[in-house]
Amino acid sequence: MSAGSVPSGYEVNDPGYPIPQENYLTNSKGILSWAFTLDHKRIGMMYLVGVCSAFLLGGLLAIGIRLHLFAPDGILFNNGLFKWLAPDKAPNDIYNQVFTLHGAIMVFLFIIPSVPAALGNFLVPVMLGAKDVAFPRLNLSSFYLWVCGAVFFVMALLASGLDTGWTFYTPYSTTTDSSVILATTGAFVLGFSSIFTGLNFIVTINTMRPPGMTWFRMPLFLWATYSTSIIQVLATPVLGITLLLLIAERTMHIGIFDPEYNGDPVTFQHFFWFYSHPAVYIMILPAFGIISELISVHSHKRIFGYRFIAYSSIAIALLSFIVWGHHMFTSGMSPITTIIFSALTFSVSVPSAIKVFNWVATMYKGSISLTTPMVYAISFIFLFTIGGLTGLHLGTLATDLHLHDTYFVVAHFHYVMVGGTVVAFLGGVFHWWPKMVGKMYSELGGKISAAFVFFGFNLTFLPQFVLGSRGMPRRYATYDPEFAALHQMSTYGSLILGVGLFVALFVLLVSLFKGKKAPANPWGGATLEWNCTSPPPFYNFDRPPVVGDPYEFGNIEWDAESDRYVKVEPKRQIVPSEKPADSPAHASE
């Protein structure tokens, strides 16, 4: 590039690429410039800090649970300290409140907004080649709604706790004197936050695509976000009304869910799971998207079965709406209904499996760089596969009757939510961290964190499968001594997992101060976000980007001299069959 093509206002201090003097982090200063920012990248970063704080809070509660369960009669909450903190509560009450808040915080405050709102906000417009999301103000308000919801949850924690389980089942939730109203109001508000994010992304992806960005030239992360957003928009309102009715039930006894007033608790369960089953796909679909990017970029190979992965996201989004009954096999539905729900449940696993096969096929014969994000991605494949397959045990009517409400379920959903979503989230953060903050982190540190997380996670939750199948029920503060050894393993594992997470945090924080400056394209990715500087300028692209094939790695090469990935002349002829149907050649017609 000749100096002549550098636009005024830029200086050439990076060989080959004009670095803008300002980026989104530096173009305005002061706390207010963050508080009132409409920039999707800053909102994404604020979300990142927010959800990570929620994760920390939820994680501490989780460690509390595990420490209590170290011995059959419970340990932690029997301690005199808790007697002093909450004189009117028995240790078992405290346990109930801790696991409830752990679940509620992790689900509503952390995992649902984690990938879409934090990473998604940062990435969707950049990957798309747009300047911002369609409704920046709505985006900011969604963040503040999240904050507001978080405040409600903390208030519930401080007021009188919450002991209904994150599922708020009636009739217990209408009779307990813990702060159900505060918590449900919080969840209601968070629902709106989630709807706004989803709505924003759907509109952004539909209307803000630059010329040349056809649907099938979108990175798979965008497909995943798109299908997540569909679920967010379609399912969350139902949760909203359910929680509203629950609040009305508590305040006015409307008699819809409360049997005391002729209501029907099973109706509550239907309403609740009509949202909450799709919600588990709100959690996992964006993680699928991350993994598709990570596997392909770090294997330096075109993603295998692009269209299959893209369509399977949509298929999951739609199928997820018709399987909610598998949470209620023992709640008193008619036998025929349970059978139908069981059969439908299996159908969901098909598109999930398609994705796993495609990722593995992508890695096959790829030139894999075992970077930190890739290590996380590979752990994801292991862990999610276990989680998904055990979902089938639970979806099978006959086995679920035994496994329902045991630790088997606990292990299942932790494998998909932690082993799946959280691991993918960490992988994604490591992958896009250089883009977000412009600094490289220590690879070694990152890999150590991944190893701790993988090992600690398995040690925590594999024993729980065994516990569950031997009959250990979930949500109990004490247990039979025969389960002690497995519970202790699990507790040790959770501590290791915790260490791993802190290592990850530490590595990332250190990089902020000590990290090497990140090049525009540290991994050799072909999607648009690697085309803008790290960190990106305020409008993402100084000039509208030229949209190419997001998975064409043939012309991206490591250049040792300048220590970065560069574009080269294609080194091999692309075999026609490898091209997606509308590769640039077609689309330019």
Partner 1 sequence: MATTDAGLASDAHDKPGHGHSDHGHGDHDHDHPSYLAHHFDTPEQQFDSGKLGMWLFLVTEVLFFSGMFCAYAIFRSWRPEVFEGCSQFLNTKLGAINTGVLLFSSFTMAWGVRCAQKEQHKLLTVMLATTLSCATVFLGVKAIEYSHKWHLGLLPAGLFSYDPANLHPEGGPNYLAWICAPFIAITIGVAIWLVVSFLRGAKFQFECAKPLFVVCLFFFVGVGLGTILESGADKEHSSHDTVAVSDAHGSEPGEGHAAVEGHDSHADAVASTDAEPATDHSTDLALIERLASDSTNTGLKADLEARKMQSELASGGIVYDVVDDTSATVAHAEDNVLRPSRAGVFFSIYYCMTGIHAIHILAGIGVMVWLLVRSVRKDFNHNYFGPVDYVGLYWHIVDMIWIYLFPLMYLIR
Residues 253-282 within binding reach of Cu ion (CB under 5 A): 277
Q: What is the x/- site pattern for partner 1, positions 315-334, by CB under 8 A?
A: --------------xxxxxx
Spell out the residues 6+ positions from residue 293 whose beta carbon is closer than 8 angstroms to its own. 219, 220, 221, 428, 431, 525, 527
Structure tokens at 22: 């300002």
Residues β-bridged to residue 11: 19
572 binds partner 1 (CB under 8 A): no
Among 154, 392, 489, 499, binds ligand HEM (CB under 6 A): 392
CA dist., res. 532 & res. 129, Å (int): 10
Cis peptide leading into residue 535 (ω within 30°) = yes
What single letter denotes the amino acid at residue 73? D
Which residue's entry shows tokens 């692309």?
574
CA dist., res. 232 & res. 151, Å (int): 22
Which DSSP category does 521 fall into? -
322 binds ligand HEM (CB under 6 A): no
Q: Show the beta-strand stretches assigned E in 473-553.
A: none
169 binds partner 1 (CB under 8 A): no
Inter-axis angle of helices 484-514 and 443-469, nearest 10: 160
Residues β-bridged to residue 19: 11
Q: Which is nearer to partner 1, 12 or 35 (CB)?
A: 12
Helix (H, G, I), strand (E, B) or coil at 298: helix
Nearest distance in Å: CB 124, ligand HEM: 21
Q: Which is nearer to ligand HEM, 391 or 493 (CB)?
A: 391
Q: Which does 345 bind (CB under 5 to 8 A by kind): partner 1, ligand HEM, Cu ion, none?
A: ligand HEM
Stretch that binds partner 1, among 126-134, 161-169, 354-362, 365-373 (CB under 8 A): 126-134
Nearest distance in Å: CB 326, Cu ion: 6
Asked whether 393 and 399 are in contact (CB, 8 A), the reply is: yes
| Nearest in space to 127 (alpha carbons), one of 466, 449, 532 | 532
Structure tokens at 206: 């539909």
416 binds ligand HEM (CB under 6 A): yes
247 binds partner 1 (CB under 8 A): no
466 binds partner 1 (CB under 8 A): no
Q: Which does 284 bind (CB under 5 to 8 A by kind): ligand HEM, partner 1, Cu ion, none?
A: ligand HEM
Nearest distance in Å: CB 508, partner 1: 25
Q: Which does 392 bind (CB under 5 to 8 A by kind): partner 1, Cu ion, ligand HEM, none?
A: ligand HEM
413 binds ligand HEM (CB under 6 A): yes
340 binds ligand HEM (CB under 6 A): no
Q: Which is nearer to ligand HEM, 71 or 344 (CB)?
A: 344
Residues β-bridged to residue 439: 517
Q: Which does 271 bind (CB under 5 to 8 A by kind): Cu ion, partner 1, ligand HEM, none?
A: partner 1
| Nearest in space to 153 (alpha carbons), one of 185, 176, 175, 178 | 185
Q: Which is nearer to ligand HEM, 204 or 342 (CB)?
A: 342
CA dist., res. 218 & res. 209, Å (int): 9
CA dist., res. 376 & res. 386, Å (int): 15
Stretch that binds partner 1, among 150-158, 290-298, 308-316, 563-571 (CB under 8 A): 563-571
Among 421, 458, 490, 521, binds ligand HEM (CB under 6 A): 421
What single letter denotes the amino acid at residue 486? L
163 binds ligand HEM (CB under 6 A): no
Nearest distance in Å: CB 352, ligand HEM: 5
Count of alpha carbons within 13 Å of 561, Cβ hemisphere only? 4
CA dist., res. 207 & res. 496, Å (int): 46
Nearest distance in Å: CB 322, ligand HEM: 13
Stretch that binds partner 1, among 131-139, 165-173, 460-468, 473-481 (CB under 8 A): 131-139
Q: Which residues bind Cu ion (CB under 5 A)?
A: 277
